[in-house]
Amino acid sequence: MKIKNIILAAVAVLFAVSASAQTQKFAHVDSQKLIAQLDEFKQAQAKLEAESSKISEQMQSMQQELQAKYNDYVSKADSLPDVVRQVKEQELQEMQQRMQVMGKAADQSLQQTQAKLLQPIFNKVQEAIDAVGKENGFIYIFDLSSQVVLFHSEQSTDAEPLVLAKIAAMPKN
């Protein structure tokens, strides 16, 4: 009789655990794919590319100027007095240093611009994912674009269409 009760209790526990596991809902999105579809992201990318191109043109112009001054120096170096040659060498070194400083400043500026343009987009996507998760009773929404998820079953809901619809319904900034 005791064994029968223990078996019945074990079956009841297994049934309860199984029923509880079946009610848990999981979903997934590919956040990189989702973000790449947004018009705001495409506009931000275009702004970043334009800024990068402008900086690249300036750096290229400075490089050409440096190269021209260097070529001029090399062609005349043997005929220049020592004092003039040293001044020209110093000028070339200073110009090279200015280019390095400008390159670092340009990189920092691009990174700041990128953060300023993309952070509101990331926030908007996260807000939409949070809302979809709450509205649909998902316990977890996994990001397939990260390397964290090693497996997802077909039973996992693709929340991307829900998130895109939620973003579309949000007020435009």
What pLDDT shows up at residue 6?
60
CA torsion sign for 62, 66, 68, 69 is positive
Q: How far is CA 126 from CA 97, 111, 143, in A?
A: 42, 21, 11
Least confident of 30-34, 45-49, 53-57, 150-154: 150-154
CA distance 59 to 115: 22
Question: How is the chain split among helix, strand and coil, in percent rounded to 5?
Answer: 75, 10, 15
Report yes or no: 121 and 40 within 8 Å, Cβ to Cβ: yes
What pLDDT shows up at residue 42?
96
Q: Tokens 């970043």 appear where?
A: 48
What pLDDT shows up at residue 4?
55
What pLDDT shows up at residue 17?
47
Least confident of 27-31, 45-49, 96-100, 113-117: 27-31
What pLDDT shows up at residue 36?
95
Report yes or no: 28 and 149 within 8 Å, Cβ to Cβ: yes
CA angle 37, 38, 39 (to 5 degrees): 120
